[in-house]
Amino acid sequence: MPKITFDKATRTQLAGALSDYLRTELDLEVKGFDAEFLLDFIGERLGPHYYNQGLQDAQQLFRTKFEAVLEAVYEIEQPIKS
């Protein structure tokens, strides 16, 4: 899996959201570079699990839609008279 990178503005926004969550929910002060390092850790260690689950969900969706298309094609098949 290629490394996922974000532009500076998105990275700052994500680190800020993480910092806010930790302060509000866990009463922890994690700011600036520490929040960014934690964001990197989460992305590297947990991110692949979410990424792979997303791929599996997409595969199942495509499989379901493709089966529906095959069924639709079957339904318009014309009978052959002998």
Per-residue pLDDT of the chain in tens (82 residues, 90 and over written 9): 678 889 999 999 999 999 999 999 999 999 999 999 999 999 999 999 999 999 999 999 999 999 999 999 999 999 999 8
Task: Kindly state whether residue 78 falls inside one of the protein's structural domains.
Answer: yes
Q: pTM score > 0.85 for this model? A: no
Q: Do 41 and 19 belong together in one domain?
A: yes
Residue 73 tokens read as: 């094609």
Q: Label residue 47 exposed, middle or buried (CB < 10 Å: 0-12, 13-18, 19+).
A: middle
Task: Kindly state whether residue 30 falls inside one of the protein's structural domains.
Answer: yes
CA pseudo-torsion sign 26, 38, 15, 44: negative
Q: Do 62 and 75 belong together in one domain?
A: yes
Number of compact structural domains in the chain = 2
Pairwise CA distance, residues 8 & 4, whole Å: 13
**Can you tell me whether residue 14 is helix, strand or coil?**
helix
DSSP category for residue 29 = -
Task: Kindly state whether residue 40 falls inside one of the protein's structural domains.
Answer: yes
Q: Do 53 and 68 belong together in one domain?
A: yes
Q: Is the distance from CB of 1 to CB of 51 less than 8 angstroms? A: yes
